[in-house]
Structure 1
Amino acid sequence: MTEPSATASVEVSVDPKTAFEVFTEEIDLWWVRGPINFWDSARLLELRIEPGVGGRFLEVYGTDPEDVRVSGRITDWRPGEQFSYRTPEGDVETSVSFAPIDGGTRVTVVQTLLTADANTAFVWPNVLHWLPAWIGRRDSAPRIPRELGRLSIALYYSDPAAAARWLHKVFGLTSWDRIPAVGAQPSWIELHVGSSAILLFERSEPASPAADHAAWVYVDDLDAHFAQAKGNGAKILQEIHQHGFRSYEAEDLEGHRWTFLQARPTMQ
C-alpha cells in the first residue's frame, strides 16, 4: 500500500530567495539526467518549471510546444517562500518550502496523495540531495546540463549503502550527489567514474556475486590507486601487470571482481 505522503529536506548555503530561484530556474542544471530519473529520458531535451500560478512542470521532448509531458500545474507561487503543484489528474500535490536557517535555507518537499486511488512513486526523497550538490559548485561549473555517459553498470548487493561506503573508501569511487551515511537506505545509489554511472541496487534473491558484473575502470594513477585499495584491505587477485594494458584486479567486500587500468592521457 502506498503511503499517503512523503517528505524530504536539505539545507543549502544560500538565502531563501536564491534557493527558490536556483530550484525553479536551474532545475535542468541540478537534476541529474540519468536513465531512471525521468518519464521518458530517451527523448528529454529539457526539464522546466514555468513560473507563476498556472505554470507547468515540464519534460520537454521537442521543438513543438505540444511535445511535452506535464508533470504538474503550479497552484501556489511565492518566490523565496513556497511553491506547489498538482498532477494533471489532481491526485498528488507537491509543496516545496524555503525556510531561513543559520547560514542558509532549509528546502523541504512534501508530496501528498489527494485521492485514495492515487498511484505514484515518490521521487523527491531520492533526488532532492542533488540540489545542494549543484549549489556547492554552481559558481564554477559550466551552465550546461550534467549528462551521464553512455556506459553504466548495475550492481546488486545485500546492503547497497554499506557497499557504496566501502567502494568510496577503498577504491576511491565518488558520487555526483552523495555517499549514503550509516543508517541511510536509499532506493538506489549512483556512484560515478567521470560521466559513467555505477548503479547500486539491493539483491532480491541469493546469487553468485562474481557473476553480477564485469567492471573495468580507468584511473589517472594506477600505482596510487593500487596502494589505496591494498592499504584499505581489498583482496588483490592479481597485482599490477602489463598485458597490452597496465592493470590490476581486486575483489570487493561481497566478491565482485574489479579490473582497474591505467588511463591514456587522451581519455576524457
Structure 2
Amino acid sequence: MTEQSVEVAVEVPVAPPTAFKIFTEEIDLWWVRGPINFWDSARAIEVRIEPGVGGRILEVYADDALERGVITAWEPGERLEYRSSVDDTETTITFDPIDGGTRVTVVEALVDGGTTADYAWQNVLHWFPAWVTRRDTAPSTPREVGRLAIALYYEDPAAAARWLHTVFGLETWDRIPEEGRQPSWIELHAGASSIILLKRTEPGAPAADHAAWVYVDDLDAHFTRSQDNGAKIVQEIHQHGFRSYEAEDLEGHRWTFVQARPTQVWPKNH
C-alpha cells in the first residue's frame, strides 16, 4: 500500500530568504549528478526551477525538457508548493527560522484518488546542506562524475561503505548509510571517479567481486561493436534512469557501459 505522505527535513546555517534563494536558484549546483538521479540520465543537462506560481520544475535536455512539476505556491523565504507532473503527489517545501539558520522541510503527499507516488525527496534533500556549507569556496559549476567508475560487490554494502569511509577516507556526494540502513544504491567518490557498492548476492551479480563502468558517447554503436567482436553480452541495452548494457571480456570480467550525458565531457587534454 502506498504511504499517504512522506516528510523529510534538514537544517542549514543561513537565514530563510537565503536558503530559499539557494534552494531554488542553485538547484543544478547542489543536485548530485549520479547515474540514477535523473528520469533520463543519458540526456539530462540541467535541473531547473522556474520562479513563481505556474513555474515548472524541469529536467532539461539538449532539445527538450521533462516537466517534473508545476508550482502552485511561491512565497520567497517561506514556502513553495508544486503539483507533480510525473506521479500523483503534491509537495510542500517550507523554510522555517531556527537558531543559527533554517529548517527546510519537504512534505510529499498523495492527492485524493492518487495511486502512484515516487517520494524521491527523502533521498534528495540531504544533498542540499552539503552545498550550502561549501558554496562560498566551491566553483559555481555542477559537479559531474568522471567517465570511468568501478563497481565493488559486497555481502553487506552499507557496512562496507562505513568501513571504506572510516578507514580509507573515501567520501561521498550522497551520504554514508547509518547502521541498520541498506540502500539499494551506494556511491562513494575519489575525486570525480565513482566507486559503486552493490550487493554480491543480487541475481545476476558477476562471479568476480568487481566490475568496470565506462560512460560512452554512443551506446548503441558501442554495443554493436562489442557484439560483433565477440564480447559475451550479459544484459542487452536497457534503461532505468541511466541507459546501459553489460558484457564480459575474454577472461570473464564484467563491464557495464553507460550512455554518457552531454555534460560528461572529456578532459581538455584528452
**Structures share fold, TM-score greater than 0.5:** yes
**Larger Rg: 1 or 2?**
1
Q: How does 1:85-124 map to 2 (within 5 A)?
A: 85-88=82-85, 91-124=88-121
2:189 alignment partner, SS class = strand
5+ long unaligned stretches in structure 2: 213-268
The answer on whether the counterparts of 2:8 and 2:105 sit within 8 Å (CA) in structure 1 is yes
- Determine the structure 1 residue equivalent to 2:179: 182
Aligned length: 215
1:33 alignment partner, SS class = coil
- Determine the structure 2 residue equivalent to 1:192: 189
- Determine the structure 1 residue equivalent to 2:132: 135
- Determine the structure 1 residue equivalent to 2:4: 4
Question: Which shifted more, 50-59 or 206-215?
Answer: 206-215
The answer on whether the counterparts of 1:8 and 1:128 sit within 8 Å (CA) in structure 2 is yes
2:145 alignment partner, SS class = coil
CA 1:89–1:154: 2 relative to 1, 3 Å: closer
- After superposition, the C-alpha distances for 1:176-201 in whole angstroms (9 at most, x for unaligned) are 24323334444422210111112234
How far off is 1:136 after superposition?
Answer: 0.9
The answer on whether the counterparts of 1:165 and 1:180 sit within 8 Å (CA) in structure 2 is yes
The answer on whether the counterparts of 1:126 and 1:187 sit within 8 Å (CA) in structure 2 is no
Give me the TM-score of the superposition, normalised by structure 1.
0.72
Q: Is 2:33 the partner of 1:36?
A: no
Amino acid at match of 2:79: Q
Question: Which shifted more, 111-120 or 33-42?
Answer: 111-120
5+ long unaligned stretches in structure 1: 216-266
The answer on whether the counterparts of 1:126 and 1:186 sit within 8 Å (CA) in structure 2 is no
How far off is 1:161 after superposition?
Answer: 2.2
Q: Is 2:42 the partner of 1:45?
A: no
Q: State how far apart, in whole Å, the 2-side matches of 1:160 and 1:86 are.
A: 35
Q: State how far apart, in whole Å, the 1-side matches of 2:5 and 2:16 are.
A: 24
Q: Is 2:166 the partner of 1:149?
A: no
Q: Please, what is the CA RMSD of the aligned residues? A: 2.6
1:135 alignment partner, SS class = helix
How far off is 1:48 after superposition?
Answer: 0.4
The answer on whether the counterparts of 2:154 and 2:209 sit within 8 Å (CA) in structure 1 is no
Give me the TM-score of the superposition, normalised by structure 2.
0.72
How far off is 1:150 after superposition?
Answer: 1.2
Relative contact order higher in (CA < 8 Å, ≥ 6 apart): 2
Q: State how far apart, in whole Å, the 1-side matches of 2:75 and 2:87 are.
A: 21
- Determine the structure 2 residue equivalent to 1:14: 14
CA 1:39–1:206: 2 relative to 1, 3 Å: closer
- Determine the structure 2 residue equivalent to 1:72: 69
The answer on whether the counterparts of 2:54 and 2:72 sit within 8 Å (CA) in structure 1 is yes
Question: Which shifted more, 172-181 or 41-50?
Answer: 172-181
Amino acid at match of 2:105: T
1:98 alignment partner, SS class = strand
Q: State how far apart, in whole Å, the 1-side matches of 2:164 and 2:97 are.
A: 36
- After superposition, the C-alpha distances for 1:186-232 in whole angstroms (9 at most, x for unaligned) are 442221011111223445548989723157xxxxxxxxxxxxxxxxx
How far off is 1:124 after superposition?
Answer: 1.0
Q: Is 2:52 the partner of 1:61?
A: no
The answer on whether the counterparts of 1:174 and 1:193 sit within 8 Å (CA) in structure 2 is yes
Q: State how far apart, in whole Å, the 1-side matches of 2:66 and 2:77 are.
A: 26
Percent of matched pairs sharing the same residue: 66
